[in-house]
Structure 1
Amino acid sequence: MARRRHPLPPPQLVGLAIFLSVAAAAVAKTDQHDVTALNVMFDSMSKPSQLSGWKSSGGDPCGNDEDWKGIKCSGSSVIEINLSGLGLSGSLGYQLSSLKSVTKFDASNNNLNGDIPYQLPPKMVQLNLYGNSFTGGIPYSISQMDDLETLNVGKNHLNGQLTDMFSQLPKLSTLDLSFNGFSGSLPQSFQHLRNLKTLNVESNQFSGHIDVLSKLPLEDLNLQNNKFTGWIPSKLKDINNLQIGGNQWSSGSAPPGMEKGSALGSSIGGGGGGSGINGFIIAAIVIAVLLVALILLSVLKRNSSSPVSSHYLMDESGHNRSFAPLVDDAGGHKQSSAINMKPLENPSSISRTPSAVPRKSISDNEFENKLNYSRRSTDPINLVTYSSSDLQAATGNFHSSRLLGQGTISGVYKAKYADGRVLVVKKFDPLSFSGSSDFMDLMNSISKLRHPNISELVGYCPEAGHYMLVYDYHINGSLYDFLHLSDDYSKPLTWDTRVRIAIGTASALEYLHDGCSPSVIHKNIKASNVLLDDDLNPRLTDCGLAYFYEDTNESLGPGYNPPECTRSAGYVMKSDVYCFGVVMLQLLTGRKPYDSSKSRTEQSLVKFVTSQLHDIDALGALADPALRGLYPPKALRRFADVLARCVQSDPEFRPSMSEVVQSLLQCIQRTTSSRRIAGHRSISQRSEDSDW
């Protein structure tokens, strides 16, 4: 029987449908950028029924006809989000930075978990995440919030050492970090919090002295149950609400000149009693003993021909055995970012005459820093300790079938446990370290790196000859695998996901370069070191291992090495930017950084693509075919503009990673504005001009 054909709708009805859809978008009151961010948040919390009125897509929270629980608007913008005590779980999503007008965000007393999103509403005045299960650290983006007055992240599972990121928060008056696992000293940038009235760091693992608080206008200070030492500055004793129990304060009066509880005083005073004069005498004796010891070390170093004594300072290749990250000095040369694991003063700076004093005196600050570093390097690391036999069993005796990758310094293996846990074990060549102390120095450096887009260290094996690092396993593997080794049945990365990977990886590098003090150079940025978690968010790995990458030609591989790296000392911070640009090129084109199967002119991705990045017609042809054209043309051009600056041959002309992050984020912001302007255009125009 012949099938009946339905007549096509008349052109008038088609035109009416188009008009109504455009009109609906135009009538919607709420800024669409805000709507999208709330949609993502709702999905990330698994669409909780408690959030009445919320939607996974679309909606009009600021409109008169919809009531979204906890949302307060002003005009077309969301200005407050109050989700306190609703029993919410899941995460907060990844688009909170789109909420440009939100000044108050309260998600306290829920069951939210994962890392606090790196990008948060930028204009916040009050942020309250108290009483959840957040992990990781405080996102560095908080340091950019000029209007922030209240920051409460108490009673979570945050840990690690606080980044020195509090210099630009002039309005911050309340800071609550209580009941977490923070460790290390209080950041020096605390001294810039000139309006801080309330500080609560109760029940953490903070250590060291509290001088940095001495000039703050504090009215409420809770330091209970930490590991603070030294004396309490006299000014702080006048605070009405001061709680200091559960620490290791020095008793008695502070020695002259140590009214502020300096590190020197705290290291000498310990928890014992004694008068101030006695403490001063002890301090003088200790300093004298140290100076004598240094002179003796110099003499022994000069007279000894034993290879053991020289190996104490240098390895076989003549390099200092310090595992602090490498940074650039003024001349662009590598130097350790922390004090080397060697005698307190370089013997070459001490006179050859045993009875002479050092040519260069040790300043109080230098001496204090060295004592502080000595204490930090011996602090217990808050990580899981694994035995070599345990890791051996979990990796099938490091069987080749469990090998995930083989680098120049280590093999990486998958470890499986009976309870279902899966971890990644980085197994070093035993000859990489001269002993357990060297390995522990490395551990201390790496364990302090905390960022949502950095692969977090969860454990280690310190047994002699079996040095291993343990990380979380990410089922989606590396970005390199996803782009270049996926089969025809794998789901390709969408354009939005590629942009998110670029921003997340750039944010991790920005943290290493600008958020760490001193700065950290990575030296091994490549797609295989960008891991993808369950939600395809990037996790940069191999952070803090720059010491081992002397020859970047060998570690990075073809296609990545920056032009300035014709010699090992040529690698500088802007070289990381170049390598990141190569990763962006792979996200853009889907090509490998170097492909010997291509014709000679196309083998090197950078050389082949660079001249075409500003050619609109050529750029479309370069886009990864796996995208099937599903990307906004303007977004492609802006993405190409950013990466073109990253891979410039002269390091001086490359942007900083902070500039890269801002450029990528501004592209998104400009896109949103263009969408609002295009709201009344025809559908065909809007689809052609949209971005990201």
Structure 2
Amino acid sequence: MVWFFLVLVGILVPAVHAKTEQGDVSALTVMYGSLNYPSQLTGWKKSGGDPCGDEWKGIKCSGSKVTEIKLSDLGLAGSMGYQLSSLTSVTYFDMSKNNLKGDIPYQLPPNAQYIDFSKNGMTGTVPYSISLMSDLKHLDLGHNLLKDQLSDMFGKMPKLNYMDLSDNDLSGNLPQSFGSLSSLKTLNLQNNKFSGPIDVLAKLPLESLNVQNNRFTGAVPQKLQGIATIQTGGNSFTSGGNLNRQDHKDVKDGKGMSGTTIAMIVIGVLVALVLLLALLSRKSSSSSSASHFLDEEKLSERRSFTPLVSRELEPPSNFKELKSLQSSASIRVKSLQISPSMGVKRPVSEKMSSLSDAEFANRLNVRRSTSIRAIPYTLTDLQAATGNFATGRLLGEGSIGRVYRAKYPDGKVVAVKKIDSSLFQNGDPEGFSEMVTSISKLHHQNIAELIGHCSEQGHNLLVYDYFRNGSLHDFLHLSDDYSKPLTWNTRIRIALGTARAVEYLHEVCSPSSVHKNIKSSNILLDVELNPHLSDCGLAIFHERTSQNLGVGYNAPECTKPSAYSLKSDVYSFGVVMLELLTGRKPFDGSKPKIEQSLVRWATPQLHDIDALAKMVDPSLRGLYPPKSLSRFADVIALCVQSEPEFRPPMSEVVQALVRLVQRSNMNMRDDLSTSRRTDDSDQSDYY
């Protein structure tokens, strides 16, 4: 009997002592390592341990689950790890006033109510996963190094009552989903580079608002002017814009000028300004009327090489570069004005106004050609420019229709996508118009933007910029005398740029846009070999056609057109990355049967260093960093997983590729002579 009691005690005592659930232990262990095992975290262990049973500094539990992490002002460095989503019971998470670096982890405790990461050195942007935290009440990310635009991700956060994003480098307009923050009482956005109006805040129950020192414009809504505490100085608001709740008293000076005298002076100044503006407007109009098309390709040849990644990861060294780029951008916009032969007038509202240095620096990495709207072309002009859609002008053909090269007498070249008329039920012109409107809203530096359209006599045509370097498919799979192998750095740059384009469609556009047709032939390369994703906004046609992406690009779950999703896009992008790594086609019937499907052949070898080295595109001739290769393979492995729920969101893919570049210390300013086509203005590349 005594023996039985001792055995029972031996079994039960360890079970009672080891209280913490394993998922929480694992997450905190990863965090401990990511923080470089700081001595300040007394009680923490490098492996195992019992945070709830023992005394781990800053950790509080309820039963066997961790509920609070309070590690503020401890001089911690490093990052927070990647398993925070396992902490499902954590409601309070405070890492403020430390020296944390790197991006805010995409995966955060999903049920957190209080998050404070303020006063660190965190980079990247606000992770989209915050949009899933419906219980969040307090969010403080102030005093960090966050940048870029905010995604439109605040639509399902009804409990958020405090948000501080101040003292960062955030830019762009406030997302419309701000208007859904029905409980928000305090909002701090000061000392950023936000722009546009603040009308979206007008209906919020705000009691304290600080938007000082941004680039906001327009007027401060009347409803906001009644807030108890409001600070709006340092912006470009119109009348009544600089509110700071200080009493303003009229100053009376008995020795000063009379009110009548002051009024006359003011009127005189206003009259002079009106006359001056009229004179400048007349000169501007005269200059505009004399403008004409410039060949974008020739213009690009005169620009210095400024690849995508170097612009995204490195701040501009000085504003001379920015002004030079601004000048090029201005010419670029003017080059899209339609020549008189096309019979189309460009609306006055579309003329590009000059930007200040600060404004241009703010917009440089956000979007491309934002002031350009798709304009109508006439069928007669497009027929003339394409030789009546001659076979010799055909660039490519897909399930949607054919793409032709159009060249005008002044040298301007565009690509014209002629959509199969059978895709529009009963020739529905309104459907085409709605589609054009939708596509015209897509603005991103890595998306092939729509510049024109035409719907006449049963023809539905979309007009895009022409990319003379053709598609990524051409570069990788069509070896000829016109091209040289893409360098490793250029391949990474293409992957990152394309990932950013897909991230924009998935997580910035509202509602999210599934591409459904991501493949190397839809990734177009400009003269600097920066990628531009085409076919954006045409997903509806892939539901109506019997064809799909093609063998090799389809995710396993996509057995019918309606099955495509954000996660199937991620899979297709992973296949494109495999093409970049191996130089192989997604499916190649000329290979041995075991090697015909690229994903099936490559996936088992992605974590085998020796096998990986043998998989690399032979045309690279071993000129790549081994660590970079391994990290790139890790990202691919995540994207091409057979189960869609395990594939990462595109924002996480982008972050992983950015970290790859940063850790590899790549010189992204490649010598283009090692990987570009020769100048052949008549070369027919697939669009």
TM-score by length of structure 2 reads 0.50
TM-score computed with the length of structure 1 as normaliser: 0.49
